[in-house]
Amino acid sequence: MADAQLTVLGSAIRPGDTILRYPTATVAAVEPYRADLKVTRTFRMANGAWYAVDRTAEYKIVRPAPSRVLVIGPASTADELRDLSAYCWDAADQSGRTAVVATDTDHDVTAYAAVYAAPGWMDDWTALVLGTEAWGAGVPLVEQPTWDDVSRCTGCRLPLTVGTVDGAPNLCGPCAGTHCSWCGTDEDRALPYSSDEGATWDMFCRPCARQDRRETKRLRAVKVAKAA
């Protein structure tokens, strides 16, 4: 999917969008509705600027094609959550994209390239809501195939156990050309890496994963030293 030029209401603008009347930077964060500003939302841009945007007016924007995928499934117990995070690891590895575990319905499914549904997803309320939204919005909903139906990567023959997006080439992430989501390199084999205890799996090259682990350790040490 390519970047799209759209006309949307101010209330539908989200991080990552470029507002064509303020083209110098993309929207970095959307601040909560402020009652004192009545009909506006405020936006912080990537270059530090602020804009007030009318929620009811139309804006021309450029919205980048979604690159992340969402993973839905049972997540109400610690065991289920661990399994879902493992499924999310597979989804990241096999799609070559950042994969996010959905533990609540607070996700705009249209911000994702696909929604991967783990087994048993229809028995989970949150997953059912998000799966239905994906289906309604035309976002590919990818269910786990039965073992007999598992397709293999046409490059390396790796079984694509989490399923494949209809119409897309059957290539695993590495064969499709995985880039490190941090430094952008495609020289090293990027692997799913989580810096938030398995809630999100990013594709990181080894040097970036090592660097992040060192940084996390350092921050933890600083926190402990401060607390003492």
175: amino acid identity, one letter: C
- How near is the Cβ of 88 to Zn ion at its closest, in Å? 19
Region near Zn ion per CB under 5 A, out of 116-124, 132-140, 191-199, 201-209: 201-209
Asked if 22 touches Zn ion (CB under 5 A), the answer is no
Residue keyed to tokens 């402020």: 34
CB of 99 to Zn ion, least distance (A): 17
Q: Is 179 in the site for Zn ion (CB under 5 A)?
A: no
Angstrom distance (rounded) from CA 228 to CA 214: 21
Question: How distant, in Å, are the alpha carbons of 65, 129, 213, 215, 228 from that of 223?
Answer: 38, 38, 15, 12, 9
Least separation in angstroms between CB 214 and Zn ion: 14
Least Å distance, CB 207 to Zn ion, is 6
Q: Which of residues 114-173 bind Zn ion (CB under 5 A)?
A: 153, 155-156, 158, 172
| Residue 93 or 124 with smaller CB distance to Zn ion | 93
Cα distance between residue 40 and residue 10, in whole Å = 8
- Site residues for Zn ion per CB under 5 A: 153, 155-156, 158, 172, 175, 180, 182-183, 205, 208
